[in-house]
Amino acid sequence: MPFASAIAILGTHGLSCTGGNPASCGRTRGGLLTCGQNVLVRFQEPEMLVNGIEIPSITCIGGF
pLDDT at 31: 83
Mean pLDDT on 46-63? 92
Backbone angles phi, psi at 12, to 5 degrees: -70, -15
DSSP string, the chain: -BHHHHHHHHHHTT-EEESSSSEEEEEEE-SSEEEEEEEEEEEETTTTEEEEEE-PPPEEEE--
pLDDT at 42: 97
Quick: pLDDT tens for 13-41.
999 999 989 999 999 998 889 999 999 99
Quick: pLDDT tens for 40-51.
999 999 999 999
Q: What are the sequence ranges of the domains in the chain? A: 3-62
The answer to pTM > 0.85 is: no
CA 8 to chain centre: 11
Cβ neighbours of residue 44 closer than 8 Å, sequence gap 6 or more: 50, 51
